C-alpha cells in the first residue's frame, strides 16, 4: 500500500503494531488502542497514536481511505473472563468503528476474524466449511462477519474478514507484551532459553498451522489493495505438533529441555488446525513465505545473541 491514510485499531498490539509500522513506511497511519494488550513501545514508525477504545462515540480521524480493524478480546480465555465486555469490544466496537469511518467516506475495511471457528481439523480448512459457534469468542467473531456482510450489502463497502491461523513472532518482536496470551512458539522459546520446562496439554500431539506475522501483514495489505470482500484464510497449509515444535526450539538453541505434560484445563479446546489458503492466493497471489523452520530460527535468534554476548 502507498499514499493512503489508514486507521489501525488495536494498532499498539502484537499484529496491529507490526501492521502499523509496515504501513507507516508509505502511508499516513492513525493508531487507536486502549492498551489492554498493547503498548506504544511497539510502534517505531511515524504514526498518530490515540489511547482510546473502539467503543468511543468520537473516534479520532476516521476520515481515512482504509480501516484495518484488529482491536478485539482475541482469545477464548479473554472472552470467557468477561463475556459482556467481549461482546461489546468484538462486536459493538467493530460496528462502531466501521460506522464512523463509513460516515467519513471510507469504503475499504479489512478486519480480523479467527480460524477457531473451524474447530479441530487435521485436514486443510476452506472458508466454505459449515461452522458453528462453540464459544462466546467464536460467536463474537461470527457476528463480526455477519455485520461485515451488512455493511457490504447495504453500503457497498469492501469488507474483508481475515481468519488468522496461529500467528507468531516471538518475544524479540512485539509479542512479549501479550504475556500468557502470546503464541506458544514465543512462550515455549522464552521458557526453554531460560532453562524452564514448557507445559504441554495432554501428550503434546496437538497441531497448529503456525503463521509468521510478516506473512499475515502482507496478506492484510493485499486484501486492502485489492478491495476484497468476504472471508479469507491466512495460514501456511502446514501443521506441526507441539512436541515437534519443542524439539525444533531445542535444536536451534542448542538446549535439551524436556517439556512437562499436564491435563488440559479448558472445556473447549481446538486440538488441530490447518489452513486452506487457496482462496486468498487466487484473489491476490498471496502465499506464505516464511516456513516454520525459518520462523523458529527467527524466534530463537535474540536468545542466541544474548548467549553469545555473555
Question: Are the C-beta atoms of 277 and 287 separated by less than 8 Å?
Answer: yes
Which triple of cell numbers denotes residue 198?
A: 514448557
Q: Which of 146, 145, 142, 118 is nearest to 130 (CA)?
A: 118
Q: Where are the alpha helices (DSSP H) in 197-266?
A: 213-225, 242-253
Q: Report the SS3 class of residue 34.
A: coil
Helix axes 292-309, 242-253, angle to 10 degrees: 40
Across-strand partners of 262? 201
Question: Are the C-beta atoms of 135 and 114 separated by less than 8 Å?
Answer: no
Please confirm, yes or no, whether 137 is among the known catalytic residues: yes
Rounded CA separation 52/33 (Å): 5
Catalytic residue among 76, 111, 137, 240: 137
Which triple of cell numbers denotes residue 72?
A: 478485539
Rounded CA separation 208/191 (Å): 19
Rounded CA separation 115/233 (Å): 8
Helix axes 242-253, 184-193, angle to 10 degrees: 40
- For Cα atoms 275, 279, 282, give the angle at the middle one, nearest 5 degrees: 130
Active site residues: 137
Amino acid at each position: 500500500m502507498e499514499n493512503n491514510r489508514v486507521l489501525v485499531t488495536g494498532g499498539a498490539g502484537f499484529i496491529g503494531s507490526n501492521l502499523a509500522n509496515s504501513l507507516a513506511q508509505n502511508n499516513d497511519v492513525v493508531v487507536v488502542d486502549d492498551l489492554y494488550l498493547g503498548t506504544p513501545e511497539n510502534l517505531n514508525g511515524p504514526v498518530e497514536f490515540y489511547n482510546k477504545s473502539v467503543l468511543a462515540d468520537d473516534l479520532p480521524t476516521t476520515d481515512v481511505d482504509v480501516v484495518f480493524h484488529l482491536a478485539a478480546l482475541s482469545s477464548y480465555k479473554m472472552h470467557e473472563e468477561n463475556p459482556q465486555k467481549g461482546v461489546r469490544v468484538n462486536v459493538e466496537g467493530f460496528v462502531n468503528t466501521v460506522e464512523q469511518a463509513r460516515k467519513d467516506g471510507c469504503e475499504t475495511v479489512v478486519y480480523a476474524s479467527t480460524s477457531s471457528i473451524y474447530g479441530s481439523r487435521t485436514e486443510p480448512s476452506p472458508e466454505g466449511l459449515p461452522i458453528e459457534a462453540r464459544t462466546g469468542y467464536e460467536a463474537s467473531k461470527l457476528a463480526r462477519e455477519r455485520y461485515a456482510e451488512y455493511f457490504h450489502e447495504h453500503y457497498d463497502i469492501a469488507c474483508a474478514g481475515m481468519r488468522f491461523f496461529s500467528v507468531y513472532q516471538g518475544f524479540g518482536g512485539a509479542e512479549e507484551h501479550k504475556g500468557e496470551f502470546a503464541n506458544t512458539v514465543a512462550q515455549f522459546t522464552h521458557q526453554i532459553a531460560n532453562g524452564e520446562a514448557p507445559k504441554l496439554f495432554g501428550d503434546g500431539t496437538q497441531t497448529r498451522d503456525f503463521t509468521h506475522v510478516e506473512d499475515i501483514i502482507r496478506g492484510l495489505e493485499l486484501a486492502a489493495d485489492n478491495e476484497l470482500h468476504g472471508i479469507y484464510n491466512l495460514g501456511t497449509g502446514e501443521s506441526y505438533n507441539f512436541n515437534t515444535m519443542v524439539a525444533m526450539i531445542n535444536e536451534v538453541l542448542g538446549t535439551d529441555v524436556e517439556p512437562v505434560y499436564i491435563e488440559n484445563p479448558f472445556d473447549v479446546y481446538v486440538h488441530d488446525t490447518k489452513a486452506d489458503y487457496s482462496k486468498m492466493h487466487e484473489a491476490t497471489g498471496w502465499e506464505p513465505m516464511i516456513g516454520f523452520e525459518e520462523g523458529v530460527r527467527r524466534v530463537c535468534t535474540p536468545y542466541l545473541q544474548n548467549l553469545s554476548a555473555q
